[in-house]
Structure 1
Amino acid sequence: MLNEQKRQSILEVLETQISKKRYEHVLRVEKKAIELATAYNVDVEKCQYAALLHDYAKEWSMEQYQVILNKYALDMTMLDYGSEILHGPVAAMIANEQFHIKDKDILDAIFYHTIGHDVMSDVAKVLFVADYIEDGRTFHGVVEARVLARQSLDSAIVYKLQQTIMFLAQKKVSIFPDTIKAYNTWISKF
């Protein structure tokens, strides 16, 4: 478990960066990440760090995102996909810079928590699924996702990727190419 003093210092900063609604979501993701990490014997502390910081930049402006993309030479095409894609990679950079997190598992989990990736550490898998099934979620299919998460993180990942792509296609919006790549890789494993 994450040291309570470290946890509180993160939460204090986080409260200044996100809305109350988003803050409550982060706490629910942390709770779900702890549950999944415990069930699957994954490092709970790493999962807590990732859960607490995953939405740090969720409510930033496009100008703020652009500054970070430039600073770290990240893929500028992410700007075309909005905050849904941008907030994870930007939050990972902030976790490193502001919170001095150097652990690749934590940073990758934050970076890819909405995009997905063809290779995911156990910490990344936990965050990817926990963010999708936290107890405040009510979308159609969340019950099935929760059932799958109890059976296998990998099954839940495939389900999330599949549902995300179908949702975006139905909305007739562009789908970030790395998400499609992740889906293609994960579906080939099943």
Structure 2
Amino acid sequence: MAYSREALIEAVSAQMPDKRWQHTLGVMETSIKLAEMYGADPQRAETAAILHDVAKYWPVERMKDIIVQNGLSAELLQYDKQLWHAEVGAFVAEHEYEITDPGILGAIRYHTSGREGMSLLEKVVCLADYIEPGRDFPGVDEIRKKSMMSLEEGLIAGFDSTISLLLQKRRVVFPLTVLARNDLVRILEEKI
């Protein structure tokens, strides 16, 4: 039996600190707004937002075990552990919370990294994660402003911010994020 919205909220909120749940509430609200603004399904956007950080506070070894034992993207294990929760979250959404909608699962899976050929729903949830009202980092207001112009403009600004921060810290940049950014730039160039 599929989980109701309320049951999902109860189950997911119990797995994270209150501060992270507040972030999730912000992503839910922002996902709905962006979905309505850009023509995505608000209900699907909200469901993906509820579940996007479901595995965020799981122990690293538990996430690694799920990735390895279930043949998920092993490439992730070579990159920052902060990326792992998205892939694991999509797996958990499907196998523990009975989410069968591939669009919702994709939005959960790619909310941290993006990917080439992002769907409308993936763009909405990824961008909502960047700009929800509780987010406070250098450049977030500019990302919010660009988000009102287009999903692509907002996401490019978000990815640029992430990549720039990683470069400043001499950290490895996940290739999928670079590919996602470049794909969005190409999409905007084609519109000109």
TM-score range, shorter chain: over 0.9
1:87 is the counterpart of 2:88: no
Amino acid in the other structure paired with 1:180: V
Greater CA drift, 75-84 or 40-49: 75-84
Q: Aligned to 1:173, which of 171, 174, 181?
A: 171
Aligned to 1:97: 95
- The CA distance in 2 between the partners of 1:155 and 1:139, in whole Å, is 18
- The CA distance in 2 between the partners of 1:105 and 1:96, in whole Å, is 12
1:32 is the counterpart of 2:30: yes
Q: CA deviation at 1:125?
A: 0.7
Give the match's secondary structure for 1:137: coil
Deviation string 1:116-135 (CA, Å, 9 cap, x unpaired) is 11111111110010000000
Aligned to 1:188: 186
Q: CA deviation at 1:15?
A: 2.2
1:119 is the counterpart of 2:123: no
Aligned to 1:157: 155
Aligned to 2:55: 57
1:76 is the counterpart of 2:74: yes
- The CA distance in 2 between the partners of 1:19 and 1:170, in whole Å, is 29
Deviation string 1:54-75 (CA, Å, 9 cap, x unpaired) is 0001111121111211232022
Amino acid in the other structure paired with 1:68: I
Q: CA deviation at 1:76?
A: 2.1
- The CA distance in 1 between the partners of 2:44 and 2:120, in whole Å, is 10
- The CA distance in 2 between the partners of 1:125 and 1:163, in whole Å, is 16
Amino acid in the other structure paired with 1:28: G
Q: CA deviation at 1:167?
A: 0.8
Q: CA deviation at 1:11?
A: 1.3
Matched-pair identity in %? 37
Amino acid in the other structure paired with 1:129: L
Q: Is the 8 A contact 1:59 1:83 kept in 2?
A: no
Structure 1 stretches of 4+ moved >4 Å? none
Q: CA deviation at 1:111?
A: 0.2
- Root-mean-square deviation over aligned CA pairs: 1.3
Which stretches in structure 1 are left out of the alignment for 5+ residues? none
Q: CA deviation at 1:148?
A: 0.9
Q: CA deviation at 1:187?
A: 2.1
- The CA distance in 1 between the partners of 2:177 and 2:30, in whole Å, is 23
TM-score between both structures, scaled by the size of structure 1: 0.93
Aligned to 1:8: 6
Deviation string 1:39-95 (CA, Å, 9 cap, x unpaired) is 112101110111000000111112111121123202223123233210111000000
Greater CA drift, 65-74 or 126-135: 65-74
